[in-house]
Structure 1
Amino acid sequence: MTSVPELGQRARDVFRMVVEGYLESGDPVGSRTISRFGGLNLSPASIRNVMQDLEELGLLAAPHASAGRMPTETGLRLFVDGMMQTTTLSDEERAAIEGQTRSGPLEEKLAQTSQILSGLSACAGIVLVPRVEPVLKQFAFLPLAPGRAVAVLVGADGSVENRVMELPLDVPPHALAEAANYMSAMLGGLTLAQAQVHLDDEIAMGRSALDAAAQDLVARGLAVWSQDNSRRPVMIVRGAANLIDPAAAADLERVRQLLDEIEGKEEIARLLDSARGARAMKIFIGSENKLFALSGSSVIAAPYHGTDGRVVGVVGVIGPTRLNYARVVPMVDFTARTLTRLMA
């Protein structure tokens, strides 16, 4: 891909003006518009020649034969990585973000943060919630039908969640009660991972008072919860309606595709999860990620950290490729740093 140093100064100036004009208006930028910006001392004809050169390099595109130019995804990437000058957040914007993290349960504060980020950026705000293993308080098995039961977990925080699980057809009813009583009495106060280790130790040392059927039930119950907890991404999305703007009226299919992608949170959560390994901001532009190849959307995401410095979650925004990167990037970065302070 072409790098910024490879472009001459004149080409860089024209390219920057086209990109900034497009990101501001959403419309292709013509040579006459650039000539009126001033500072270039180039005629519209000379500017058109430079724009043609940039188009041949794959950095600009002309949506119509007589229209101006707009940046391609390659051009946006070049601009974001090598030419963009980020803005500074206002005191009001900083206060709005910090004000959402002062009180209330963690998930509620994260939801509020996602909401305010959405409002400030005019995009959809997204937060990947820290993975917190539930601590067991009480467990129950409720028979549904032969070979099926509902596993009920009551967490120490008062949360209650249910999972349907498959059972051997010959499991006697007393085994359900025995397994539930054992888990509530012996595994209370432990996380799922700790409970699994404790059960394995008990069985290995021959200390478990459970019969084989009840042991199998406890193992199955722990397994269904552990697998679900590790696979299930918890993501909060706020402000998806911001993605439908007046300019989208001519591109309803793209908007529909994007909303479908947001509705399928698991795929987007996996994308955000890839930002956990990053030390700083990650920006995905359009088809650079196959998830957004059809909708032509961009994601700006930054990890936030826990008390031990490990990444515990990701915060960011989803919007069209034509978003104000210079303004939104520092906004997401400040939000991530604010959440890191919240985790401390």
Structure 2
Amino acid sequence: MNSPPIHELTDRARGVFRILVESYLDSGAPVGSRTISRISGLNLSPASIRNVMQDLEELGLLAAPHTSAGRMPTEIGLRLFVDGMMQANEPSAEERAAIEARAGEGGPIEEALANTASALSGLSACAGMVLVPKREPVVRQFGFAPLGGDRALAVLVGTDGSIENRVVDLPAGMDPASLQQAANYLSATLSGLTLGEARARIDREIRAERAALDSAARTLVERGLALWSEDSGHRPVLIVRGQARLIDTAAAEDLDRVRQLLDELEGKEEIARLLDSARDGEATRIFIGSENKLFALSGSSVIAKPVRALDGRVVGVVGVIGPTRLNYARVVPMVDFTAATMARLLG
């Protein structure tokens, strides 16, 4: 069911609807006519407000839970409110400073991104999420550790202190001496290069027959770099922080929903695809409840914003996930500001 255009609602209906939604998002509880009459300034009696609420319910914008005489917005109603009535509240100076401070704590880039996601989570009372393409580490050192049989563990140490491991298949007849030879060659030749630059140099060295490697070591070097470069180029980094914030007092009343949401957060590939769908837009994307199949069962909302470098390239996506009753007017600008902060971080 599609919501009616906002201009088709009467002034009275818009006023009642706006106050009801804002009260619901603030409290998480259904809102009754007497509550609206006390805070609205609409000069309407509770009976008149109930009639308006009934009309809004028939339009599919409100629902009445069985356990309450009050009303709450449906997902369609929330979409109408977010698109046509919401007045955004810009982050305070303290909130902006908190996000910038966590982003600027230094260390490896993934640590800075994780800190940024944690700051966003804490300020929004949601789970914070960051998706960025896998950055190629700058090589400081390579090493190989035999695993037995025909496999070895390849270890790459980056100049930023990051350490990554891959399991590689060893060429036939590879002995410990050749394994060490390959590690020494890689560390000496490729230090200070990205993986892409390293692979190009190795190709040139081998074609020119300048690589002082025996046949088995040469094969391992080519095979290992090819595997590492391909994996690094296609695997995005997804960071999720603050899942525990999704279990609040209101959520405790609906443990099945919370359990479902936490299960969904385990499916990081699905979340990565969801966030990636926000890359093409200029504005912040808001997915409310069943509008996105991934979180349809848990009744959750996702707010996501692409992160753009100064040259316009999309270098990541930042967002939050929380209950559909989250404070959109406060959280949407907070996600926008975090995206701008990340843009400076990722360059």
- Aligned identity (percent) is 70
Aligned residue number for residue 213 of structure 1: 216
Match of 2:191 in 1: 188
Equivalence for 2:241? 238
Aligned to 1:303, what secondary structure does the other structure show? strand
Question: What is the distance in 2 between the residues matched to 1:26 and 1:267?
Answer: 28
Show the counterpart of 1:177.
Answer: 180
Determine which of 60, 63, 70 is the counterpart of 2:62.
60
Q: Which residue of 2 aligns with 1:270?
A: 273
The one-character-per-residue Cα deviations of 1:8-34 (angstroms, maximum 9, x if unpaired) are 333222222221121111111223322
3-state SS, counterpart of residue 276 of structure 1: coil
CA distance in 1, matches of 2:77, 2:204: 58
2:7 corresponds to 1:5: yes
Give the aligned residue type for 1:154. Answer: V
Matching residue's letter, 2:57: E
| Partner Cα distance (1:198, 1:151) in 2 | 19
Letter in 2 for 1:34: I
Unaligned runs of 5+ in 1: none
Deviations 1:291-322 (A, max 9, x none): 21222111222233335442322332221111
User: Match for 1:62: what amino acid?
Assistant: A
Q: CA deviation at 1:250?
A: 1.5
Q: Distance in 1 between matches of 2:92 and 2:190?
A: 50
TM-score, with normalisation over the residues of structure 1?
0.87
Matched, 1:144 2:147: yes
CA–CA distance in 2 between the matches of 1:176 and 1:202?
Answer: 18
2:258 aligned residue: 255
Q: Out of 64, 77, 80, which is 1:78 matched to?
A: 80
| Cα distance change of structure 1 residues 279 and 212 upon mapping to structure 2, 3 Å threshold | farther
**Counterparts of 1:137 and 1:109, CA distance in 2:** 20
When residues 34 and 237 of structure 1 are mapped into structure 2, their CA distance, relative to the original with a 3 A threshold, is same
**Range with greater deviation from structure 2 (306-315 or 74-83):** 306-315
* Residue correspondence of structure 1 range 156-167 to structure 2 within 5 A: 156-167=159-170
Task: Give runs of aligned pairs for residues 1-344 of structure 1, distance below 5 A.
Answer: 1-2=2-3, 3-64=5-66, 67-105=69-107, 106-129=109-132, 131-168=134-171, 170-203=173-206, 210=213, 212-343=215-346
The TM-score normalised by the length of structure 2 is: 0.87
1: CA distance between counterparts of 2:162 and 2:94?
36
Partner letter of residue 116 of structure 1?
A
Cα distance, 1:188–1:94 mapped onto 2, change above 3 Å: closer
Q: Letter of the aligned partner of 1:124 in structure 2?
A: A
**1:131, 1:312 within 8 Å by CA — same for their partners in 2?**
no
Residue 308 to residue 69, structure 1, CA distance change in 2 (3 Å): same
* Counterpart contact for 2:31–2:72, Cα < 8 Å: yes
> What is the alpha-carbon distance in structure 1 between the residues aligned to residue 241 and residue 304 of structure 2?
15
> Helix, strand or coil: the match of 2:277?
helix
Tell me the SS of whatever aligns to 2:240: strand
Residues of 2 paired with 1:268 and 1:213: CA distance?
41
Deviating beyond 6 angstroms after TM superposition, the runs of 4 or more aligned structure 1 residues are: none
Q: State whether residues 125 and 317 of structure 1, in contact with CA within 8 Å, keep that contact through their aligned partners in structure 2.
A: yes
- Which structure 2 residue ranges, 5 or more long, are not aligned? none
